[in-house]
Structure 1
Amino acid sequence: MLHLLVEARDEGEPVRSTVTSVALVLVDANDHKPLFHQDVYTLTTAEDTPPETTLLTISAQDEDWSPENTHLDYAIVGGNEEKRFCLEVKKIPFENQMKNVGRLVLCNALDRETTEYYELTVSVSDRGTPPLNSSSIIKVTVTDCNDNAPVFSSAEYHAEVSESSQIGTSLVHISALDPDLGVNGLVHYEIISGNSKGHLKLDPQSGILMVNQSLDYEEHLRYILTIRATDGGQASENQNMAFAVIFVNVLDENDNTPFFMFPSVTCSVLENLPAFTHTCSVHAVDKDSGPYGLLTYSILSSCFMDYGSGSPERKEAFAIDALTGDIHTRQTFDYERESEYCFVVEAKDKGDKSATVRVQVAIKGVDEFSPIFTQKQYHFLLPENPNTGKTVGFVMAMDHDGGVDGMGTFVLFFFYL
């Protein structure tokens, strides 16, 4: 406001005048728009920054001086579609007066894996008539933190491996993904249970499971491995983990040959017994425990080249149970015709590995015949005074039994007429 004194004079003699005061009030025109101090603001914040954190304070300058022309309002007008940020207006003392500034505040949690960069457009406007405004850009870069755990492509994996596989053979490739950046996204794999003897090995970087030692189906036919995937690097204190299971079935190979405990077996059977009488059993051992450990028994041939020549029934005198190895007769035997049989039994596994054993069967006789004298009566002449020990005559008896059953003993009976 200007205060003026105005004098009015006339042209008379003497000159007469009068004085009055004039007050001039200057009205501010809104001829300056507010301007930010920077055209572009740049800031970096971690994705785990808690909400309600003030990220940046911005301000603008307006060259006008009236209150309405210098009262500034701030707003985010672009780039905030996810509603992550808020712009709060706050009065602060500035040059002996209160001035509005804008505070960029994090309203909702950030996630770098969803959005790692924001470009916000902020505006400032006065309250003049008409109101004037300007804008600036705030560039926000979101940095990574280890806020994601690895995720396996499957909760469980299955693999098969032959027991004859070479060391270093690859079995299965497991994979866990971590969307974090850098070291936070690096995954380290390890077996934490199920591999106490170290037969298998898991590459810590690639996740490839491989054979580490010779496998034996008969010793260990299945492995159940618990796998742990860890992120953040081995030296990091902030690590996330995930777990999976690998089932590894060992496939049997025919790596063992069957064998009999003894090279030969001796057994016997009484004559006159009916066909299909059990005689004895043979048993071979095969250390394979899978299908290759199942044996089949068969009678191959006789022990001798001339066995059964001219006697067809001798070739099929015995039969063997293919699964149990039990040997039984296929006919009734007569000790007096044949007292011994010998044949070769073979035990064969599913992989055509085999072993043989020699089986000798003795036919035992039974006392089925009575001895018969060659004559009904014998007549001998005895001298009146024979010498002691003098032979008077001979008697003879026959017994159709063989062996000891056919051996006779003579007893002398005296009859006086």
Structure 2
Amino acid sequence: LSHKETNKPLLSPPLLFDFNGEICAFKIHGLEAPFEAVVLNGTSGEGQLRARGLVDCELQKEYTFIIQAHDCGAGPGGTGGKKSHKAVVHIQVNDVNEFSPVFREAQYHAAVTEGKIYDSILQVEATDQDCSPQYSQICNYQITTTNTPFAIDRNGNIRNTEKLSFDKQQQYEVLVTALDCGQKRSTESVAVHIDVKPVCKPGWQVSRGRRWCKRQGGRKMEWSGIIKGHVVPPVSCTLRKKGAI
């Protein structure tokens, strides 16, 4: 049975009952089953099972019910009619690729340090609502942004393909799309923002307005200040001009 198809033969070859006399009807036991059985040839006992409406693999993947044939002696509801043995029917609903992949997050953010090559900066992930493994699994991710120093693998791991420079570019935005195993593409790409952090380089940084010199006799001066929040010990300096260092 194909997903969401109606009035299609479900059994091949058609349903057959070996019955003395003529078959007038088939009865399905199990009112919840959305199927019906019709007689194609009463003499040969040939019948056909078909869906009474839409079937949805995402709602129910399988159906099992019992079918029974009735002769024409008194009809299906008559007390004098003869009935066949009960046959078990098992139907599996095949999926169609109707849903597109959807990313779990509206957007993704990550930060990297300049000058490094990462095996994985971050991982994006998409899901698919189809019921079968073929159409519900994500088989590939692709970066749709061109001329970008990043690559992505089939598991959604993003890495940089070259060393990044903070002086060259402080932030990147790349768009990523997902494909299920039926090659259905996500309807919307997801944005991935990657910030580039500068390498911390050693050096002196003195807060403005927090440095001064003290006279130590003659023209020798002593310098004090605050470097990155820490008071540094005094160092000697020479007064070059009155009132200045």
Alignment pair present for 1:53 and 2:8:
yes
Instruction: Work out whether residues 146 and 180 of structure 1, in 8 Å CA contact, stay in contact via their aligned partners in 2.
Output: no
2:234 is aligned to none
1:174 corresponds to 2:124: yes
Q: Tell me the distance in 2 between the aligned counterparts of 1:211 and 1:231.
A: 24
Give the letter aligned to residue 152 of structure 1: F
Give distance in 2, aligned partners of 1:230 and 1:136: 42
1:252 alignment counterpart: 198
Describe how 1:198-347 pairs up with structure 2 within 5 A: 198=149, 200-203=150-153, 205-232=154-181, 239-242=184-187, 243-255=189-201, 296-297=207-208, 310-311=217-218, 315=221
TM-score normalized by structure 2?
0.71
How far 1:121 moved relative to its partner?
1.1
The verdict on how the C-alpha distance between 1:181 and 1:299 changes in structure 2, with shifts beyond 3 A counting, is same
Give 1:47's aligned amino acid.
H
Structure 1 residue 167, shift from structure 2 partner: 0.7
**2:37 aligned with 1:87:** yes
SS in 2 for 1:219: coil
Cα displacement (A) at 1:309: 5.2
Counterpart position of 1:16: none
The residue matched to 1:73 in structure 2 has which SS? strand
Secondary structure class of the residue paired with 1:72: strand
Give the Cα–Cα distance (whole angstroms) in 2 for the partners of residues 107 and 170 of structure 1: 51
Q: What is the one-letter code of the residue matched to 2:108?
A: Y
Question: Quick check: 2:6–2:54 contact (8 Å CA) kept in 1?
Answer: yes
How many residues of Structure 1 are paired with residues of Structure 2 in the alignment? 226
Aligned sequence identity (%): 19
What is the CA distance between 1:63 and its match in structure 2? Answer: 2.2
Could you tell me how far apart the structure 2 residues matched to 1:160 and 1:201 are?
Answer: 16
Q: Which amino acid aligns with 1:229?
A: A
Separation in 1 of the partners of 2:107 and 2:88? 49
Work out which of the residue numbers 53, 56, 62 in structure 1 matches 2:19.
62
For residues 75 and 207 of structure 1, what CA distance do their matches in structure 2 show? 52
- Deviation (angstroms), 1:202: 1.8
Question: 1:124 and 1:183, CA in 2 relative to 1: closer, same or farther beyond 3 A?
Answer: closer
Displacement after TM superposition at 1:172 (Å)? 1.7
User: How far apart are the structure 2 equivalents of 1:218 and 1:138?
Assistant: 70
1:227, CA displacement in angstroms?
Answer: 1.0
2:138, 2:178 within 8 Å by CA — same for their partners in 1?
no
- In the other structure, the counterpart of 2:52 is 107
Preserved contact between residue 107 and residue 191 of structure 2 (Cα < 8 Å): yes
Is the CA contact 2:36–2:49 (under 8 Å) kept in the aligned structure 1? Answer: yes
- Between the aligned partners of 1:145 and 1:359, the Cα distance in structure 2 is 85
User: For 1:116-166, what per-residue CA distance to the aligned partner results, in whole angstroms no more than 9, with x for missing partners?
Assistant: 3322311112334522212212222333332332222222222222235x3
Aligned Cα RMSD in Å?
Answer: 3.9
TM-score by length of 1: 0.45
Match of 2:143 among 186, 191, 213: 191
Q: Distance in 2 between matches of 1:219 and 1:362?
A: 43
* Structure with higher RCO (Cα < 8 A, 6+ apart): 2
Unmatched 5+ stretches in structure 2: 231-237
1:122 aligns with 2:73: no
Deviations 1:2-33 (A, max 9, x none): xxxxxxxxxxxxxxxxxxxxxxxxxxxxxxxx
CA contact (8 A) 2:19 2:45 kept: no
- Kindly tell me: are residues 71 and 115 of structure 1, through their superposed partners in 2, closer, same or farther at Cα, counting changes over 3 Å? closer
List alignment gaps of at least 5 residues for structure 1: 1-44, 65-69, 259-293, 303-307, 317-343, 352-357, 364-417
Task: Report the residue type matching 2:93 in the other structure.
Answer: V
Contact 2:101 2:127 in 1 (8 A): yes
1:150 has 2:101 as partner: yes
* Distance (whole Å) between structure 2 residues aligned to residue 296 and residue 169 of structure 1: 39
Which residue does 1:132 correspond to in 2? 82
